[in-house]
């Protein structure tokens, strides 16, 4: 699953003020979210190698003929375009979101693959988690509201993963506000 917590979000939350962002203390918990990649790098090498062999099978019959020199650039271009398309897919997968929770601050940092970082922070006591099952850009759209803004979280996750993320965030924020 493309979501990892540094500590189990169902674990105990310590009383408020014990770990404060302003004091430079470590966070209570943090999560890193990233888009799912169905093809790992090793799989990419296998796919390109397989495509190379399959494309060259008909070309082998042309060895020693002038037709080979007409087919070879197109077959190599096909392999090159496959490699470029897979690399572009991996580059878009460099997107990541880091969600960190202290007793007095919640922070979301979105690292875009080809742009600047986007940061949002608020006091967790005032933050509200909302899941928009319909009407959002994706099913089970999760947002955090606080500090005068509403931000999306994990829009690239599957609907089930977004539901679990929303439950974890609600549990953490509710427990934290009860201990305040």
User: Tell me, what's the pLDDT at 113?
Assistant: 86
Instruction: Domain 3-36+96-179: state its class.
Output: mainly beta
Contact present, 144 and 108 (Cβ < 8 Å): yes
User: Tell me, what's the pLDDT at 12?
Assistant: 46
Domain ranges, ordered by start, for the chain: 3-36+96-179, 41-92
User: Tell me, what's the pLDDT at 33?
Assistant: 93
User: Tell me, what's the pLDDT at 20?
Assistant: 66
R_g (Cα) of the chain, nearest Å: 24
User: Tell me, what's the pLDDT at 13?
Assistant: 55
Query: Could you state, in chain order, the average pLDDT of each consecutive group of 10 residues for the chain (180 residues)?
Result: 70 54 75 88 94 91 90 93 92 88 91 89 93 85 93 92 93 78
pTM, full prediction: 0.74
User: Tell me, what's the pLDDT at 21?
Assistant: 63
């Amino acid at each position: 699953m493309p979501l990892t917590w540094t500590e189990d979000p169902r674990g105990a939350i310590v009383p408020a003020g014990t770990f404060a962002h302003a004091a430079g203390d470590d966070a209570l918990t943090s999560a890193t979210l990233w888009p799912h990649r169905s093809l790992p790098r090793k799989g990419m090498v296998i796919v390109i190698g397989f495509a190379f062999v399959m494309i060259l099978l008909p070309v082998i019959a042309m060895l020693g003929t002038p037709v080979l020199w007409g087919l070879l650039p197109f077959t190599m271009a096909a392999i090159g375009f496959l490699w470029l398309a897979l690399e572009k897919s991996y580059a878009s997968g460099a997107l990541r979101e880091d969600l960190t929770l202290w007793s007095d601050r919640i922070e979301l940092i979105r690292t875009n693959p080809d742009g600047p970082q986007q940061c949002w922070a608020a006091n967790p006591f005032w933050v509200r988690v909302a899941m928009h099952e319909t009407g959002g850009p994706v099913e089970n759209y999760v947002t955090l509201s606080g500090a005068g803004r509403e931000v999306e979280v994990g829009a690239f996750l599957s609907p089930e993963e977004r539901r679990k993320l929303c439950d974890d965030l609600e549990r953490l924020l509710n427990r934290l506000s009860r201990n305040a």
